[in-house]
Amino acid sequence: MGTIAEANGRSTPYLGALSSTVIAIAFVGQASELGDSFYLFALALLPPVFLLGAFSYLRLVQTSIEDMVYAVGTFRIRQYFRSLDPAAVPFFPPTDPMGMTKLERIGVVATGPLQLLLTAASMVGCINAIVGRVTVALALRSLTEAPVPAAAATGALVALALAALCFGYQVRRFRRVAAVVPELYEDESPSMPGWTNRVER
C-alpha cells in the first residue's frame, strides 16, 4: 500500500504541473497569435516539466522494484504459514515453481518485460516522451524556422527514442532485481518465473 500511495503521490504533481502548463501555453498562444512570445513562453515552461517527469519516472521505477521485493517477502511468509500447519495449506496459493507459474498466468506476478508497459512508470515515461516531442518540435520551428511537417516528424522520432529509452531502462532494472532478490534471504526463495530465464546480471 505504501508503494502504491507513493506512486500516486509522484504521478499526481507531475500530471498537475503538465496540465497547468498546457493550459497556460494555450492561453498565451491565443493572446499572441502563435508569435515569438508564444514560443518563448512554451520553451521556458516545457523543459522544467520534462525534467520533473524524468525525476518522477525514475522514482516510479524504484517503487515498482520495491513492490517486487515485497512480493517475494510475502511469498516467503505464505511458505512459512503453510509449513506451520498442514491444515492451512488450502488457504494459501502455492509458491513452488509450479505454483508461481500459475500465479504468473493469472497476473499476480510479472510475466516478463511486456508487463512493464502497464506500470505507472511507463505511463509517466510515455507522457514525458510526448512532452519532449512537443518541446523539440517547437524549438525547431522557432529557432530554425523548420517546416511544420519536418518539425513534427523530428519530434515524433524524439518521442519514440525517449519511450524506448525509458522502457529499456526499466527492463534492465527489473532483470537485475529478479536475479538479486531471491539472494537477499538465507533460505530458498520463490523466483520470478517470467524473468529468471532472461536474467542479465
What are the tens digits of pLDDT across the range 133-160? 999 999 998 888 889 899 999 999 999 9
Q: Is 191 left (phi over 0), alpha (psi -120 to 50) or beta?
A: beta
Domain residue ranges in the chain: 2-198
At 1 the pLDDT is: 58
Nine cell digits for residue 136:
523539440
Q: Say if residues 65 and 30 touch (Cβ distance below 8 Å).
A: no
For residues 195 and 175, what is the distance between their CA atoms, to the nearest angstrom?
Answer: 6
At 148 the pLDDT is: 87
Q: Return per-residue pLDDT of the chain as tens, 201 residues.
A: 566 777 777 788 999 999 999 999 999 988 887 788 888 999 999 999 999 999 999 999 988 888 878 877 777 787 787 778 788 777 777 777 777 777 777 666 666 677 778 888 999 999 999 999 999 999 998 888 889 899 999 999 999 999 999 999 998 888 888 777 767 766 666 665 555 544 443
0.85 exceeded by the pTM? no
Q: Say if residues 131 and 51 touch (Cβ distance below 8 Å).
A: no
Which secondary-structure segment (H or E) carries 44?
helix 36-84
At 145 the pLDDT is: 84
Nine cell digits for residue 141:
520551428
Task: Tell me the Cα Rg of the chain.
Answer: 22
Q: Give the Cβ contact number of residue 172 at 10 Å.
A: 12
Sign (positive or negative) of CA dihedral 41, 47, 48, 52: positive
Residue written as grid cell 496540465 = 19
At 201 the pLDDT is: 39
Nearest partner of 69 among 197, 184, 155, 188, judged by Cα: 184
For residues 122 and 145, what is the distance between their CA atoms, to the nearest angstrom?
Answer: 33
Q: Give the Cβ contact number of residue 55 at 10 Å.
A: 13
At 10 the pLDDT is: 79
Determine what percent of the chain is predicted with pLDDT higher than 70.
Answer: 86
